[in-house]
Chain A
Amino acid sequence: MADLLRAALAIAAKDLRVELRSRTALVSALGFAAMVLMIFNFARDSAVVSREAMAPSVLWITFTFSAVIALNRSFALERENAALDGLLLAPVSRTAIFLGKYFANLAFVFTIEAVALPLFLLFFGVSIGGVVSGIILTAVLATAGFVAVGTVFAAIAVRTRFAELMLPVLVLPFLLPPVIGAVQVTSRLLAGRPMSEILGWLKILALYDLVFVTFCILLFPALMDE
């Protein structure tokens, strides 16, 4: 178990180091997030739709779509020089490879969210005063689930000709439950609704995470076979 985690962390660290060198995926995703937020601001008829009403949806669309942009890179970088073979030749389990990629992707997506959230607050003038921890908890729960699925699909998509297109096509249906849950929780938090109304949705998010992380771990090795 310790070996598994050690290998996974080594792989995650390598991913992060590579990304910090080139910064391409991170910068693209952040730029995308900022642009999406800007467009949403202008894509609203302020007389009809209030900022508050749109806010949770805008936040979560920004988070998920920027994440999908960043997810592609996790296996695209292994394509160069057949680096993935290097990983498969090493005495590490396929699960360690998945976990390493998953951790690295989590780090990226959390970074994107950490930058996009303040931008969102700035552009939309929404105050999250008392519910910061609630928003962060929701973000962690929702992200943990869809990044797991995204990692698996990134591994699949990278083997196809139009990987950047295939990944969104495959992953978007899987974003539905976490996005619905996250938006429900966020809008209730912003409206100051009591915890009892929110707990159910949080449980769904947690269940989604548990189920999908488990299945992704179980299924990933099948993708690495030959």
Chain B
Amino acid sequence: MTASSEGVRRVIRRGLGLMLAGFAGLAAVYLVALRFTPMERFQGLPQKIFYVHVPAAWCALLAFSVVGVASILYLWLRDPRLDLFAESAAEAGIVFSLVMLTTGPLWGKPIWGTYWTWDARLTFTLLLFFLFLGYRALRSAIHDPAERARYSAVVGILGMVLVPFVHLTVYLFPTVHPQPIVLKPSTPSLPWEMLRTLLLSLIVFTILLLGFLVTRYGLGREAEARGGTDGR
């Protein structure tokens, strides 16, 4: 099932379009967050990282779910495009987990005096990051495309099943670190201006995720058409 190269190029163009929209939106988010959103009383300027940190975590989790669902569909339908889709989602997920894992310490240091805490959300995203890495490592270690697709699908599904357990055990894990107020599971109600900015950021980040996903998928299809199924 080779797509027309014109069709594939259209996919890439759409993906790039989404990415462009996403980055433009990101600039808008920065503007809104810095200029049009009230300063948080206790944390001050560093709190603004929140508007990047939380959506990044959300997108990492979303990407991860896409990998899981695409993996299930692949094992059911055996369509190689689903495998490529999962691979693209995994790569996008790595990007967002990295964003989340770097903004976390950047936010943490000025507020809590420490770069890292083992709070539920950071630990959880760190774990997602390791799962993504393992998934990628496995993919680069198997060269036969069908075998690679099947094996990564199994890992993707098991990873998805793992996530609730990690959430459960890490959340229940007693910690000596003071829980930062905003990151409590029962999020206190944010004032409307902040909530609005957060929602805007969530939408923008999701568009970015979609852009990365679609572009990567298109590029993968193009590479296939050119005849390269290197072990990635």
Contact = CB atoms under 8 A, between A and B. Distances in A.
Contact of B157 (A181, A204, A219): A219
B130 interface: yes
A176 B158 CA distance: 14
B106 interface: no
Given A160-B142, A222-B75, A173 B153 contact: no
Contacts of B133: 169
B169 A180 contact: yes
Contacts of B173: 180, 184
A114 B228 CA distance: 51
Size range of the interface on B?
20 to 34
A169 B134 contact: yes
Interface stretch (A23-31, A84-92, A104-112, A208-216): A208-216
Given A204-B169, A222-B75, A170 B155 contact: yes
B130 A172 contact: yes
B28 interface: no
B13 to A, nearest CB: 35
B81 interface: no
B130 A219 contact: no
Given A169-B134, A177-B165, A222-B75, A152 B154 contact: yes
B223 interface: no
A223 B150 contact: yes
Given A160-B142, A215-B157, A225-B150, A170 B134 contact: yes
Given A159-B142, A166-B138, A204-B168, A174 B162 contact: yes
A161 interface: yes
B127 interface: yes
Most chain A CB within a 10 A radius of its CB, from B131, B159, B169: B169
B164 to A, nearest CB: 9
A173 B155 CA distance: 12
A223 to B, nearest CB: 6
A42 interface: no
A212 B161 contact: yes
Contacts of A181: 169
Most chain A CB within a 10 A radius of its CB, from B75, B131, B133, B151: B151
A145 to B, nearest CB: 9
A219 B72 CA distance: 10
Interface string B132-169: 01100110011000010011011101110110011011
A216 B151 CA distance: 13
Given A176-B166, A180-B173, A219 B137 contact: no
A200 B174 CA distance: 14
B158 A152 contact: yes
A38 to B, nearest CB: 28
A161 B154 contact: no
B170 interface: yes
Contact of A170 (B138, B153, B170): B138
Nearest to B160: A215
A149 interface: yes
A159 B170 contact: no
11 contacts: A161-B141, A172-B130, A173-B127, A174-B162, A204-B172, A208-B165, A216-B158, A219-B158, A222-B154, A223-B151, A225-B150
Interface of B: 75, 127, 130-131, 133-134, 137-138, 141-142, 147, 150-151, 153-155, 157-159, 161-162, 165-166, 168-170, 172-173
